[in-house]
Amino acid sequence: MDRWDRSGRRSVEFGAGAFTGAIGDSITVIPLVVALALLTDVSLPHALVAFGVFQIVWGVRYGLPISVEPMKALAALAVAGALTYAELALAGLVLGFLLLVIGLSGTLARVERWIGEPVIRGVQFAVGLILLETGLDLALGDPTLALAGVAIAAVAAALGHGKASALAVAAAGVALALFTVGVPTAQWPGAPPTPVIGDALTRRTLDGVFAQLAMTIGNAALATSLLFSDLLDAEVTPDELSASMGVTNLIAVPIGGIPMCHGCDGVAGKHAFGARTGGANVVLGAGYLIAALFATPALLSAFPVAMLGALLAIVAVSLARNALDSSNVALSVAIGGIALATNVGVAFVLGIVGHLALERVRADGEGTSHL
């Protein structure tokens, strides 16, 4: 039986499900954070500290196995070299402000209707394609290691743990890095990196904000709210989630974290692995904070880059296949193609125009049929 505190929130418990469920939210977090740390100026220990803190904060606040994960569109663009670290940080701050305003004003549902579900799916498909392209480029650097990563993922899937295949590859890469350089001496991260925000006032930052906003509204707010209701019979409004994501980014980015969001995939992953309360968040948050002590530059540099390529490819396929669930698959796929040919921002705007035009044509058709 579920336990509730006096405020009506689900209480935090630490049964076996809290420990197994913690795995579910790390499935996409670890691969993307490692990729960002290896390929950009993101500081791995500072990013882990931020994830650790906000896993615990929101797990306790909501009392639910809520997800705290990277903003995937921004992460993919940064990993692909389409955003600098400063642009990534500024985009996170801008989104933090926008999400906080949207959440506090209760306007998220209206924004989602304007963007449209096929556009959200299309941006997910585009992000998947960008990550896949980056992953393949990295894998070609050492095909043997990349194939080893694929083999590990295949074994995990064959054993019935397909959702954790990317995490299995990441664990193998960490094990190889530890074998190469040994276990590092624990040390607390120093001062956070300070990107020059003035250099990030670019069109690329704006494109990243547009692309991520679509994914965040659809996947991180609306879908997550529905999933809490379906899986846990818990009421958390999309606007609450939007506001908490806003607060997260306005605090996390200045302390060296990366742009973060909630996400229905992480909630589903935690639930599938047994999590039922925010206890899983506390366990995972503590794990991230401990890992931050050992995430030294020497250990990071020993991580096999080609295996990282396989890792990104796995995450990419998981993201890209969301297009198959679109109410307009053709439009979603077209958005992905436009993003590769131009950029995600252009694809996002053209996708909205196409979606609104198709909706208008359908509405006119329905109106004519009733005459």
Q: Where are the beta strands (DSSP E) in 256-310?
A: 260-261
- Through-space distance between the first and last CA atoms of the chain, rounded to whole angstroms: 55
Query: Which tens digits make up the pLDDT trace of 74-114?
Result: 999 999 999 999 999 999 999 999 999 999 998 877 777 77
Burial class (CB in 10 A: 0-12, 13-18, 19+), 365: exposed
**pTM for the structure as a whole:** 0.85
With contact defined as beta carbons under 8 Å apart, do 134 and 31 qualify?
no
With contact defined as beta carbons under 8 Å apart, do 263 and 65 qualify?
no
- The Cα–Cα gap between 264 and 227 comes to 7
Question: Who wins on pLDDT, 269 or 260?
Answer: 260
- Which phi and psi (to 5°) does residue 202 adopt? -130, 165
- The Cα–Cα gap between 161 and 157 comes to 5
Question: Who wins on pLDDT, 168 or 88?
Answer: 88
State the amino acid at position 328 in one-letter form.
Answer: N
Query: Which tens digits make up the pLDDT trace of 178-212?
Result: 999 998 988 888 899 889 988 999 999 999 998 89
- The Cα–Cα gap between 42 and 181 comes to 21
Residue 1 banded pLDDT, cuts 50, 70, 90:
very low
